[in-house]
Amino acid sequence: MVFKGHFVVYVGEVDEKKCFVVPISLLKHPSFPKLLSQPEEEFGFNHPKGALTISGAQRPLCCLCGRS
């Protein structure tokens, strides 16, 4: 379940994706567009399941969300 004011981001490779429920306020963080730019260039943003999916390491998103 995703609460109002949040969105879902899946991070990782096909067989090992982790789900993050992220506050919408994070979209205003200056590092968030940088986090999305590389996957966008490589893979685009076509996500048939409706959630944003970022291939690669989870660490940058964890740092932005304040998770270790």
User: Tell me, what's the pLDDT at 54?
Assistant: 76
DSSP 4-54: TTEEEEEEEETTEEEEEEEEGGGGGSTHHHHHHHHHHHHH-S--TTSSEEE
Q: Which residues pair with 2 in a beta bridge?
A: none
pTM score:
0.66
**For residues 22 and 6, is the Cβ–Cβ distance under 8 A?**
yes
- Extents of the domains making up the chain: 6-44+57-65
pLDDT digit of tens for each residue in the chain (68 aa)? 788 999 888 887 767 788 888 889 888 888 878 777 766 666 666 565 667 777 766 667 767 676 64
Q: What is the pLDDT of residues 22-38, one digit of tens each?
A: 889 888 888 878 777 76
Write out the H or E segment, with its range, that includes residue 63. helix 59-65
